[in-house]
Structure 1
Amino acid sequence: MATKTSEKCALVVVDMQNDYCDAAGVYPRNALQCFDMESVVAATAKAVTTCKERGIPVIYLRMAWNTDASGFPVDAGLIMEKSRPFVRAEGLRRGTWGVEVVDGLPPPDYVVDKTRYSGFHNTSLEALLRGLRVETIYLAGVITNMCVEATARDAFHRDFRFVVMSDCVSGFSRKLHDASLETMQIFGTVKQSDELLRGN
Structure 2
Amino acid sequence: MNPATTALVLIEFQNDFTTPGGTLHDAVKTVMESTDTLNNAVEAAAAIREAGGVVLHVPITFAPGYDEITRHPYGILKGVVDSTSFVRGSWGAEICEQLTPVEGDIIIEGKRGLDAFGSTNLDFVLRSKGIETVALAGFLTNCCVESTMRSAYEKGFEVLTITDAVGATSPEEHANAIQYDYPMFSKPMSTDEFVSSLSEDKELADSSRGY
TM-score normalised over the length of structure 2: 0.83
Counterpart-to-counterpart distance in 2, 1:174 and 1:150: 19
- Give distance in 1, aligned partners of 2:192 and 2:120: 30
Q: Which residue of 2 aligns with 1:195?
A: 193
Contact 1:79/1:116 (<8 A) preserved? no
Deviation at 1:77? 3.5
Instruction: Work out which of the residue numbers 132, 136, 153 in structure 1 matches 2:133.
Output: 136
What amino acid maps onto 1:93 in structure 2? Answer: V
* Higher mean C-alpha deviation, range 123-132 or range 184-193: 184-193
> Residue 16 of structure 2: which of 19, 22, 37 is its match?
19
Report the CA distance between 1:178 and its aligned residue. 1.1
**Letter matched to residue 121 of structure 1:** G
Per-residue CA deviations over 1:74-109 (Å, capped at 9, x if unaligned) read 113388222445724621111111111112124250
Q: Is the 8 A contact 1:80 1:88 kept in 2?
A: no
- Residue identity matched to 1:189: K
Who is 2:108 aligned against?
A: 112
Alpha-carbon distance in structure 2 between the residues aligned to 1:145 and 1:66? 25
Aligned match of 1:34: 29
CA-to-partner distance for each residue in 1:42-86, whole Å, 9 max, x for gaps? 11111111111111100011011123xxxx101133882224457
In 2 relative to 1, CA 152–133 (structure 1 residues): closer, same or farther, beyond 3 Å? same
Would you say the 8 A contact 1:60–1:111 is kept in 2? yes
Q: Which has the higher helix share?
A: 2
The answer as to whether partners of 2:7 and 2:53 remain within 8 angstroms in 1 is: yes
Q: State the identity %.
A: 26
Distance 1:35 1:133 in 2: 37
**Could you say if the C-alpha distance between residues 167 and 79 of structure 1 is closer, same or farther in structure 2, counting changes exceeding 3 Å?**
farther
In the TM superposition, 1:75-154 aligns within 5 A as: 75-77=68-70, 80-82=73-75, 83-84=77-78, 87-88=81-82, 90-108=84-102, 109-113=105-109, 114-154=111-151
Task: Indicate the SS of the match to 2:43.
Answer: helix
1:5 to 1:146, Cα distance in 2 relative to 1, 3 A: same
Structure 2: distance between partners of 1:97 and 1:193: 28
Instruction: Give the whole-Å Cα distance in 1 for the aligned partners of 2:96 and 2:119.
Output: 24
Which amino acid is the alignment partner of residue 37 of structure 1? M
Task: Confirm or deny: 8 A CA contact 2:44 2:194 kept in the other structure.
Answer: no
Residue 199 of structure 1: SS of its match in structure 2?
Answer: helix
Tell me the CA shift for residue 124 of structure 1. Answer: 0.8
Q: Kindly report the root-mean-square deviation, in angstroms, between the aligned alpha carbons of the 2 structures.
A: 2.0
Aligned residues: 191
Identify the match of residue 5 of structure 2 among 8, 16, 33.
8
Which structure 2 segments of 5+ residues have no match? 199-211
TM (normalized to structure 1)? 0.87
Distance 1:131 1:85, change over 3 A: closer
Question: Residue type of the partner of 1:128?
Answer: V
**Partner amino acid, structure 2, of 1:185:** P
Query: Residue 18 of structure 2 contacts residue 38 of structure 2 at CA under 8 Å; is this kept in 1?
Result: no
